[in-house]
């Protein structure tokens, strides 16, 4: 195995070619080793590889956090190769793909997929070819099954796991079992509140996505005893290692639980004696088992997994391994979209609720919309009051600037994408939702009486909150935050990279020589990956997103505190020299 090198280090002398390589035999970025094994309806195999290839023009493999729950891809095949006769291609074929970069260590890409479509013949100059599309077997299993089942007071992680293990993994079409990874209750990012769901004959992935959308994570207590509520959305996706049900916050700032939460479990062992929940723990018991007395203690995971450098690939004094971490091509796809940020609820949002049982509009009492902050504590997430038709109504409000630190952010940084006097953070009604709720049902005696005693079903009719107050406006905001700073980079093929990882991008300044970009350098989350192979050329295209700036922007309120003070202290205006509000026009830049 070749020695691993730091991508931004400098090597000279005998190391200029790299250990294990002779002069003139150095392997370069685009060289790869791959093989495609086509399996027809009879089980017969036909193999094409990088050493002997006269059939394949190229192929791609795609992973995505947000656009697809499974891995997809395509293969370009020369029309004259006659594969549709020799295999033949009739819609019952699979393909096994093995792929790696000859120079990089790590697990070889080795997986089997289902071929789902043959395109029309395409003419490109003198060549004629067609494209075979493929996807993971689990997507076919998703189409072959329907979920018709109810869940009472179950944690989201358990519901997702049960659907996957009952309807996807055991399907006879799935050639190889893939593990589902998720955090249990008490871990730093395990789902917290019980949920009721009734799925009336829907596809498994649709059922999973319904659960994912409404999931609420456990809270996290860092070692500094700072409570950090895990706001934001969950994701369900596949990469080369399997399927994941993860909080987006856990991808942005990964944590490892060092001390589990103290959970008050019930001592009762009461089971339902009838119906489809026969011999299962009844909802009352499960409800009593979800109370957390103390949040889990967690510590940050070391990131990034790798650093990529934007600089000329012919830079002198680089060994071949270093070339693997030089960006071949890059572009900024997005930096901000204020209109979408406004209407999609990134800056501010209001949520007004209606309880159809109690026929009440708004919250029952003045309490936090976040489950982990005690109600008597001063907190910015408290509900606010307004007057409609001369009646006082309590609603929930979100403010991006004031509540920025309540999210976990990329690499743990806390530099908002805007400043404190941006017109989007003035608590406007640009994003407004009016939804039904059953929040606080169990806190009202009359509701408990009606649903638990008068129904003569104190075990099965227990109320479980819809949690809409806890996830709706926060989830919309976090989703929009991830759509602002997006960069696409192309690097020498790297079969080790998967979606959901944090990488570092050393982004050059477009103005200051020999400096990195003041705002866009730093850590990024991989949201999309496309491995592109053409003959022996192997490139990896990654779409990267981040929800923070490297440098904190100028803050108006900090300047006002120091106005009128000769030589006032501006240390609170940010962490960069660029933020000093008294910089004159003779300086290079003022932010």
The reply to whether 545 falls in a domain is no
The whole-number pLDDT of residue 336 equals 92
The owner of tokens 């501010």 is 348
Give the pLDDT mean for 253-280: 54
Average pLDDT in the chain: 76
Query: Is there a single domain that holds both residue 262 and residue 368?
Result: no
162 class by beta-carbon count within 10 Å (0-12 exposed, 13-18 middle, 19+ buried): middle
Q: Is residue 61 predicted with pLDDT exceeding 90? A: yes
CA dist 527 and 497 (Å) reads: 11
In this structure, of 258-267, 303-312, 431-440, the range with the lowest mean pLDDT score is: 258-267
Query: Is there a single domain that holds both residue 122 and residue 171?
Result: no
The whole-number pLDDT of residue 258 equals 66
Query: Is there a single domain that holds both residue 116 and residue 153?
Result: no
Q: Is residue 411 predicted with pLDDT exceeding 60? A: yes
Label residue 384 by pLDDT band (50, 70, 90). Answer: low
The whole-number pLDDT of residue 93 equals 94
Give the pLDDT mean for 492-498: 91
- With residues binned 3-state (H G I as helix, E B as strand, rest as coil), the percentages for the chain, rounded to 5, are 20, 35, 50
Give the domain-ending residue among 454, 481, 508: 481
> Which residue would you say has higher pLDDT here, 521 or 375?
521
The whole-number pLDDT of residue 321 equals 53
Label residue 591 by pLDDT band (50, 70, 90). Answer: very low
Query: Is there a single domain that holds both residue 296 and residue 423?
Result: no
Query: Is there a single domain that holds both residue 160 and residue 122?
Result: no
Contact 213, 192 (CB under 8 A): no
**CA distances from residue 564 to 267, 559, 561, 569, 571 in whole angstroms, order as listed:** 64, 10, 9, 11, 16
The whole-number pLDDT of residue 184 equals 79
Q: What total number of domains does the chain contain?
A: 3
Residue 100, domain CATH: 2.40.10.10
Reported as a single tens digit per residue, the pLDDT across 434-486 is 999 877 666 566 666 666 555 554 444 455 667 788 788 988 999 999 999 99
CA dist 495 and 492 (Å) reads: 10
Q: Is 38 helix (H, G, I), strand (E, B) or coil?
A: strand
The reply to whether 394 falls in a domain is yes
Helices (H), 495-579: 556-562
What pTM did the predictor assign?
0.80
The reply to whether 491 falls in a domain is no
The whole-number pLDDT of residue 290 equals 45
The whole-number pLDDT of residue 376 equals 47
Question: Taking the chain, what is the end-to-end CA distance rounded to the nearest angstrom?
Answer: 48
Reported as a single tens digit per residue, the pLDDT across 134-185 is 999 999 999 999 999 998 878 899 999 999 999 999 999 999 999 999 987 6
The reply to whether 555 falls in a domain is no
CA contacts within 13 A on the Cβ side of 482: 25
Give the domain-ending residue among 481, 510, 545: 481
Query: Is there a single domain that holds both residue 175 and residue 118?
Result: no
Question: DSSP label at 313?
Answer: T
Contact 331, 487 (CB under 8 A): yes
Query: Is there a single domain that holds both residue 267 and residue 207?
Result: yes
79 class by beta-carbon count within 10 Å (0-12 exposed, 13-18 middle, 19+ buried): middle
Query: Is there a single domain that holds both residue 217 and residue 259?
Result: yes
Query: Is there a single domain that holds both residue 130 and residue 155?
Result: no
Tokens of 581: 């509000």
The reply to whether 256 falls in a domain is yes
Q: Is residue 291 predicted with pLDDT exceeding 70? A: no
Query: What residues make up the domain containing 229?
Result: 148-300
Give the pLDDT mean for 259-282: 48
Query: Is there a single domain that holds both residue 285 and residue 345?
Result: no
The whole-number pLDDT of residue 85 equals 87
Query: b or e along 267-284 (b: 16 or more beta carbons within 10 Å of the residue's beta carbon)?
Result: eeeeebeeeebeeebbbb
Give the domain-ending residue among 300, 323, 355: 300
Q: Is residue 394 predicted with pLDDT exceeding 70? A: yes
The reply to whether 560 falls in a domain is no
Tokens of 438: 């059953």
Reported as a single tens digit per residue, the pLDDT across 532-566 is 998 768 999 999 999 999 888 877 765 554 444 44
Query: Is there a single domain that holds both residue 274 and residue 343?
Result: no
Query: Is there a single domain that holds both residue 362 and residue 471?
Result: yes
């Amino acid at each position: 195995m070749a020695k691993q090198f730091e991508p931004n280090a400098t090597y000279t002398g005998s190391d200029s070619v790299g250990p294990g390589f002779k002069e003139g035999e150095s392997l370069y970025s685009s060289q790869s080793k791959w093989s495609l094994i086509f399996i027809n309806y009879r089980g017969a195999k036909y193999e094409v590889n990088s050493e002997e290839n006269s059939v394949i023009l190229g192929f791609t493999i795609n992973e995505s956090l947000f656009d697809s729950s499974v891995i997809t891809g395509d293969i370009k095949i020369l029309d004259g190769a006659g594969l549709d006769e020799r295999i033949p291609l009739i819609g019952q074929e699979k393909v096994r793909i093995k792929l790696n970069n000859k120079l990089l260590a790590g697990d070889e890409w080795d997986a089997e997929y289902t071929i789902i479509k043959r395109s029309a013949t395409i003419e490109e100059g003198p060549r004629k070819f067609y494209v075979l599309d493929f996807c993971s077997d689990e997507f076919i299993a998703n189409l072959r099954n329907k979920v018709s089942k109810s869940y009472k007071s179950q944690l989201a992680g358990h519901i997702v796991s049960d659907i996957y293990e009952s309807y996807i993994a055991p399907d006879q079409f799935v050639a190889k079992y893939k593990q589902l990874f998720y955090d249990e209750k008490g871990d730093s990012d395990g789902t917290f509140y019980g949920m009721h769901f009734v799925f009336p004959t829907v596809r498994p992935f649709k059922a999973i996505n319904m659960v994912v959308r409404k999931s609420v994570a456990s809270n996290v207590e860092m070692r500094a005893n700072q409570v950090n509520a895990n706001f934001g959305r969950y994701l369900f996706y596949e990469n080369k290692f399997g399927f994941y049900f993860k909080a987006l916050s856990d991808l942005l700032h990964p944590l490892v639980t060092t001390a589990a939460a103290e959970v008050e479990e019930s001592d009762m062992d009461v089971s339902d004696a009838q119906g489809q929940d026969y011999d299962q723990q009844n909802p009352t018991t499960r409800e009593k088992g979800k109370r957390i007395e103390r949040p889990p203690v967690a510590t940050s995971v070391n990131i990034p997994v790798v650093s990529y450098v934007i600089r000329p690939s012919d830079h002198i004094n680089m060994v071949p391994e270093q070339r693997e971490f030089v960006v071949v091509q890059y572009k900024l796809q997005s930096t901000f979209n204020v209109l979408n940020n406004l209407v999609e609820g990134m800056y501010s949002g209001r949520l007004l609720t209606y309880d159809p049982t109690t026929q009440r509009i708004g919250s029952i009492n003045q309490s936090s919309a976040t489950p982990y902050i005690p109600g008597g504590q001063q907190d910015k997430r408290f509900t606010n009051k307004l007057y409609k038709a001369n009646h006082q109504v309590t609603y929930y409000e979100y403010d991006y600037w004031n509540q920025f630190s309540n999210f976990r952010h990329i690499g743990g940084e806390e530099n908002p994408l805007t400043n404190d006097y941006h017109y989007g953070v003035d608590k406007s009604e640009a994003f407004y939702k009016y939804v039904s709720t059953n929040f606080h049902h169990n806190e009202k005696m009359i509701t408990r009486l009606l649903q638990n005693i008068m129904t003569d079903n104190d075990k099965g009719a227990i109320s479980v909150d819809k949690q809409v107050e806890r996830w709706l406006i926060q989830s919309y905001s976090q989703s929009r935050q991830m759509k602002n700073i997006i960069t696409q980079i192309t690097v020498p093929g790297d079969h080790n990279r998967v979606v959901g990882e944090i990488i570092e991008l050393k982004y050059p300044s477009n103005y200051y020589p020999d400096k990195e970009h003041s705002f866009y350098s730093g850590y990024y989350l991989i949201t999309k990956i496309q491995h592109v192979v053409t003959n022996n050329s192997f490139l990896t295209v990654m779409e990267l997103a981040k929800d923070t700036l490297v440098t904190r922007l100028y803050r108006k309120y900090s300047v006002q505190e120091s106005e009128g003070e000769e030589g006032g202290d501006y240390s609170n205006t940010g962490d960069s020299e660029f933020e000093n509000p008294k910089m004159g026009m003779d300086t290079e830049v003022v932010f």
